[in-house]
């Protein structure tokens, strides 16, 4: 992971697709060229001004040594008039001449395509998210591994400030501490240590660490004894700390008298604690490759096979490679199921139409963007290119399910930090309108092509059952979201882990209930 950190920072693309990020890199390169042209023009101009000054300098010093003798010569008198009447005017024009036009207009034009404040905040939030999910330490992110790919005090400060504005005090603390460390090590910066200490003391106070909050406040006051808020906080922290110490003494006193110490947790709760981890934590663990719940016994019942779907004519001669990824829920992986050429074609078709993926806001019913789903996606219809048609047909042939009633093929691109937090693909009972427009019932099954390898991160994980499915280019996974009864299968809850390094391309086909009445075969697996 460490090795890849510098990569991570240089390719931090979030709400923007990789294509847009690449364009920005080249835009910036062009701007640097334009800036250098401007500097050259400015230098040429200054050179002219200098020559003028030098000429005039020697001229005037000679003239003023013997003014009468000098002016006694008619040519000199004439030249003085000429200089004063026209040449100084020319010089004025030269000095006033604006050399920056070209550069400024380039900048103005390019600026229209620059990322916004929102993009910058998004990039910072994604970095914090990755830091959490993959447990990266602040020092190695900041000082990186490759020269030239490090964070400055300002960068760390900015990350801390964004965490602070999200009331994320733990990240505020680690990033402000990193900023302070780099300042202490002598890094030049416009960021005042007092500001850093102010954030630091507040964020550790918010995390209940009064003593450290007090230390930071004292350090702040050494630098700026008049700091009003810090002076107020100092008194307040001292008061709180004294109160706490007193409470602590009381407790020790009671304990030594044999009073029952207060229990922090009942035994019962402790026993189930591990499994009761909040879903977010389970998701993050699985993304790191921890906590996969597969026993050797279950593992031994997972197989690979060649599959022709009951001698389907299209697969009789060339059966496909099928691998059991998981047992409950049953997840199948198909290997080499989409070719390099098809992948490139699908990406090419999708690229100009990729838009930030949206989700339904349950309050307003409107489509909005959300931090829990960060990716770009586009829909491809079967009639726009034969490749889409072929892909749809392949899914139908191999699953035996009717794709007539399915949704269009969705193509999704996750940049670094892109993710999709745990969700169900099917609509639950309390959301009967979920797929109303389509009119083909609920999402009975999911087919998911992996159209890229991902250097780090980006797995599909199932937090309910502790399953991890790694993206492998050219493969696809398939699972049923609904039980044969039509009930949603809650064990299929899944998520797309944030991409840590690289770029993730997937393509989804959501197959719907209608049309499968006579097709969903029993006996494919015990769970079906």
Site residues, Fe ion (CB under 5 A): 425
Distance CA 141, CA 172 (A): 15
CA-nearest of 364, 342, 373, 377 to 510 is 377
Alpha-carbon span 333 to 311, nearest angstrom? 19
| Residue 342 and residue 348 in contact, taking contact as beta carbons nearer than 8 Å | no
Q: How far is the CB of 496 from ligand OGA (least distance, A)?
A: 3
- Count of residues that interact with ligand OGA, criterion CB under 6 A: 9
Instruction: Kindly tell me which residue out of 13, 133, 440, 508 binds ligand OGA, with binding defined by CB under 6 A.
Output: 508
CA separation for the pair 468, 405 (Å, rounded) = 29
Contact 514, 404 (CB under 8 A): no
134/426 with CB nearer Fe ion: 426
Tokens of 424: 């169900």
Name residues contacting ligand OGA, limited to 388-407 (CB under 6 A). none
Which residues in the 50-109 window bind ligand OGA by CB under 6 A? none
Tokens of 478: 């398939």
Instruction: Report the partner that residue 460 touches, choosing among ligand OGA, Fe ion, none (CB closer than 5 to 8 A by kind).
Output: ligand OGA
Q: Among 171, 376, 494, 512, which residue interacts with ligand OGA (rule: CB under 6 A)?
A: 494
The smaller minimum CB distance to ligand OGA, of residues 123 and 468, is found at: 468
CA quadruple 14, 19, 25, 28: dihedral positive or negative? negative
Pick from Fe ion, ligand OGA, none: which does 508 bind, CB < 5 to 8 A by kind?
ligand OGA
Contact 97, 38 (CB under 8 A): no
Alpha-carbon span 81 to 295, nearest angstrom? 101
For residue 481, state whether it binds ligand OGA (rule: CB under 6 A): no
With contact defined as beta carbons under 8 Å apart, do 471 and 454 qualify? Answer: yes
Binding mask 411-450 for ligand OGA (x = CB under 6 A): -x-------x----x----------------------x--
Please report, for residues 34, 451, 471, 511, the alpha-carbon distance to residue 342 in angstroms, rounded to integers and kept in the order given: 40, 9, 17, 21
Choice between 306 and 372, CB closer to ligand OGA: 372
Tokens 């000095």 correspond to 95
Q: Of Fe ion, ligand OGA, none, which one sits near residue 198, judging by CB under 5 to 8 A according to partner kind?
A: none
Taking the complex as a whole, the smallest distance from the CB of residue 445 to ligand OGA amounts, in Å, to 12
The dihedral region occupied by 167, where left means phi > 0, alpha psi between -120 and 50, and beta the remainder, is left
Q: What is the DSSP letter of 443?
A: E
Q: How far is the CB of 377 from Fe ion (least distance, A)?
A: 12
Q: Does 178 help bind ligand OGA (rule: CB under 6 A)?
A: no
Q: Which of ligand OGA, Fe ion, none binds 506 (CB below 5-8 Å, type-dependent)? A: ligand OGA
Cα separation, 235 vs 224, in Å, equals 16
Does 476 bind ligand OGA (CB under 6 A)? Our answer is: no
- Binders in 313-342 for ligand OGA, by CB under 6 A: none
> Residue 492 binds which one of ligand OGA, Fe ion, none, with CB within 5 to 8 A depending on kind?
none
Q: Nearest distance from residue 13's CB to Fe ion, in Å?
A: 22
In whole angstroms, give the CA distance from residue 230 to residue 234.
6
| Least Cβ distance, residue 457 to ligand OGA (angstroms) | 11
Q: How far is the CB of 410 from ligand OGA (least distance, A)?
A: 7
Strand order of the β-sheet with 460-462 is 373-374, 419-423, 494-496, 460-462, 467-469
Q: In the complex, what is the shortest distance from the CB of residue 454 to ligand OGA, in angstroms, rounded to a whole number?
A: 10
Residue 90 in 3-state DSSP?
helix
- The DSSP code sequence of 299-337 is HTT--EEEE-TTT-TTTSSSPEEEEEEETTTTEEEEES-
Q: Which is nearer to Fe ion, 220 or 350 (CB)?
A: 350
420 half-sphere exposure, CB direction, 13 A CA radius = 23
For the bound state, the minimum distance from the C-beta of residue 169 to Fe ion, rounded and expressed in Å, comes to 32
* Identity of the residue, 161 or 376, whose beta carbon is nearer to ligand OGA in the bound complex: 376
- How many Cβ atoms sit within 10 Å of the Cβ of residue 146? 12
- 175 vs 420, which CB is nearer to ligand OGA? 420
Which pair of tokens denotes residue 246? 């007193």
User: What's the min distance (Å) between Cβ of 377 and ligand OGA?
Assistant: 8
Give yes or no for residue 460 binding ligand OGA (CB under 6 A): yes
496 touching ligand OGA, by CB under 6 A? yes
From the list ligand OGA, Fe ion, none, partner contacted by residue 496 (C-beta under 5 to 8 A by kind): ligand OGA
The distance of closest approach from Cβ of residue 424 to Fe ion in the complex, given in angstroms and rounded to an integer, is 8
Specify the residue, 222 or 431, whose C-beta has the smaller distance to Fe ion: 431
Which CB, 78 or 372, lies closer to ligand OGA? Answer: 372
DSSP run (H or E) holding 22: helix 18-65
199 or 505: whose CB is closer to ligand OGA? 505
Task: Rank residues 214 and 476 by Cβ distance to ligand OGA and give the closer one.
Answer: 476
State which residue, 168 or 513, has the beta carbon closest to ligand OGA: 513
Binding positions for ligand OGA, rule: CB under 6 A: 412, 420, 425, 448, 460, 494, 496, 506, 508
């Amino acid at each position: 992971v460490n090795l890849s950190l510098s990569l991570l920072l240089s390719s931090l693309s979030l709400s923007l697709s990789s294509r847009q990020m690449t364009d920005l890199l080249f835009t910036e390169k062009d701007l640097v060229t334009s800036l250098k042209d401007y500097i050259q023009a400015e230098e040429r101009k200054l050179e002219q001004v200098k020559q003028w000054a030098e000429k005039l300098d020697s001229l005037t010093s000679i003239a003023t040594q013997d003014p009468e003798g000098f002016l006694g010569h008619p040519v000199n008198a004439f030249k003085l008039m000429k200089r004063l009447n026209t040449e100084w005017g020319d010089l004025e024009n030269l000095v006033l001449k604006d050399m920056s036009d070209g550069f400024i207009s380039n900048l103005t034009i390019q600026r229209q395509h620059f990322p916004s404040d929102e993009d910058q905040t998004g990039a910072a939030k994604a970095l914090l998210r990755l830091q959490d999910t993959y447990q990266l330490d602040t020092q190695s992110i900041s000082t990186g591994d490759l020269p030239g790919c490090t964070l400055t005090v300002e960068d760390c400060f900015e990350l801390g400030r964004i965490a602070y504005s999200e009331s994320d005090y733990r990240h505020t603390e680690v990033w402000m501490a990193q900023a302070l460390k780099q300042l202490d090590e002598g890094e030049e910066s416009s960021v005042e240590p007092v500001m850093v200490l102010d954030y630091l003391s507040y964020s550790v106070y918010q995390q209940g660490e009064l003593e450290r909050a007090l230390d930071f406040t004292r350090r702040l006051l050494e630098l700026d004894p008049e700091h009003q808020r810090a002076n107020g906080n100092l008194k307040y922290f001292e008061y709180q700390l004294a109160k706490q110490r007193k409470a602590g003494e009381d407790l020790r006193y009671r304990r030594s008298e044999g009073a029952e110490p207060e229990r922090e947790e009942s035994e019962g709760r402790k026993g189930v604690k591990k499994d009761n981890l909040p879903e977010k934590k389970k998701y993050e663990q699985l993304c790191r490759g921890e906590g996969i719940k597969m026993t050797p016994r279950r593992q031994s019942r997972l197989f690979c096979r060649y599959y022709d779907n009951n001698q389907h004519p299209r697969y009789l001669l060339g059966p496909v490679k099928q691998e059991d990824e998981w047992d409950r829920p049953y997840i199948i992986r198909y290997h080499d199921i989409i070719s390099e050429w098809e992948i490139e074609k699908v990406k090419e078709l999708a690229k100009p139409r990729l838009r930030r993926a949206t989700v339904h806001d349950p309050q307003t019913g409107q489509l909005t963007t959300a931090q829990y789903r960060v990716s770009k996606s586009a829909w491809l219809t079967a009639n726009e290119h034969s490749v889409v048609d072929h892909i749809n047909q392949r899914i139908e042939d191999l699953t035996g399910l009717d794709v007539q009633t399915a949704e269009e093929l969705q193509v999704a691109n996750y940049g670094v930090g892109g993710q999709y937090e745990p969700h169900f693909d099917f609509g639950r009972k309390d959301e009967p309108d979920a797929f109303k427009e389509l009119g083909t019932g609920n999402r009975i099954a999911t087919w998911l092509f992996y159209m890229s390898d991902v250097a780090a991160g980006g797995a599909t994980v199932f937090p309910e059952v502790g399953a991890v499915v790694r993206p492998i280019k050219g493969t696809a996974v398939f699972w049923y979201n609904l039980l044969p009864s039509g009930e949603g299968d809650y064990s299929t809850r899944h998520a797309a882990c944030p991409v840590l390094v690289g770029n993730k391309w997937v393509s989804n086909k959501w197959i719907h209930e209608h049309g499968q009445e006579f097709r969903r075969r029993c006996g494919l697996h015990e769970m079906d």
